[in-house]
Structure 1
């Protein structure tokens, strides 16, 4: 939302047979609907990627153990982080609404990338 780049975390498939299988998760975070609310949010990890960790353990899809998680244990895993305040749907340019000129609602563009 603040113009910092979109971010994602990636864990490569651990088995050759799963190299073409993907789990892609979009982090949740709600939306902001007023200029004041979005300004406040832009200083947090829900409005900026500036303070994200360089690495993240991707465990939300279950164990990497085949017995515990037979369906997806060896797949590629991607977690698209949420920093746009627009439910991953935004496509607004800064010039679309001058009063929101500071904000970058680009969630859909990040997902498309």
Structure 2
């Protein structure tokens, strides 16, 4: 976290890092920074729109700027109470998310006048899925907006005609118990796995949100 402690303007950015869709892929992440805080860098750079230097970032240099480390493999939506002692995997990203927000509220975000929730890639999807709930957690009257950078993943068949990404997201939601933490405006109408696709929830988001996406996303081009 960087920024003046008295600032009432908060920029909240979620890091990217993909997802894990079963015990095997989630276990493999525990050996990386995407699954264990023990393996995360001690310090990370704040640059670009998160820079503290006015000449590089004239609009937001004096905001409180927070980077949220990504560790749960489901864009902070998971919540499974049981823990298998054989793997010791905790699918509880949604609880981590709430704990982070509560910690920031105690550090001054409860007095925020402006707040932006942003993220890139899987973090961009986080900003989409949590946009309205984020608004509900900051003070009433605060101006809240969301920014999803490369987080608009489309539901399309791969080159063989298979529904790979749809099946993958369904497995993510099932493995992490994510359904209860996805927007109810979507899950009340279609299968929860489909609610990981922004095209199925974007129109229901009440908070102002801005999408930034390349015409050809390298990950989606290679993975679909």
TM-score range (shorter-chain normalised) is 0.7 to 0.9
8 A contact 2:52–2:61 mirrored in 1: yes
| Structure 2 runs not aligned, ≥5 long | 100-224
Partner of 1:70: 58
Q: Residues 20, 100 of structure 1: CA spacing in aligned structure 2 closer, same or farther, 3 A cutoff?
A: farther
Structure 1 residue 70 displacement after superposition: 2.1
Q: What is the match of residue 41 of structure 1?
A: 29
Q: Who is 2:95 aligned against?
A: 109
Larger radius of gyration: 2
Q: Which runs of 5+ in 1 are unaligned?
A: 1-9
- Which structure has more relative contact order (CA 8 Å, sep 6+)? It is 1
User: Closer, same or farther in 2 for the Cα pair 1:43/1:101, shift >3 Å?
Assistant: closer
Report the TM-score when normalising by structure 1: 0.73
1:3 — aligned with what?
Answer: none
Give the deviation of 1:71 after TM superposition. 1.4
**Which of 39, 47, 53 pairs up with 1:51?**
39
| Cα RMSD, aligned residues only | 2.3
Q: Which residue of 2 aligns with 1:25?
A: 13
> What SS does the aligned partner of 2:11 have?
strand
1:100 Cα offset (Å):
8.0
Deviation sequence 1:6-39 (CA, Å, 0-9, x none):
xxxx11228x5xx111100111112111111111
Distance 1:22 1:111 in 2: 16
How far residue 62 of structure 1 moved from its aligned partner, in angstroms, is 4.2
Q: 1:70 to 1:100 in 2, by over 3 A?
A: farther
Give the 3-state SS of the residue equivalent to 1:11 in structure 2. Answer: coil
Contact 1:26–1:82 at 8 Å: present in 2 too? yes
- Report how far residue 76 of structure 1 moved: 0.6
The answer to whether the Cα contact below 8 Å between 1:94 and 1:103 also exists between their aligned partners in 2 is no
TM-score w.r.t. length of structure 2 = 0.39
| Structure with the higher fraction of residues in helix conformation | 2
Name the CA distance, whole Å, in 2 between partners of 1:65 and 1:34: 42
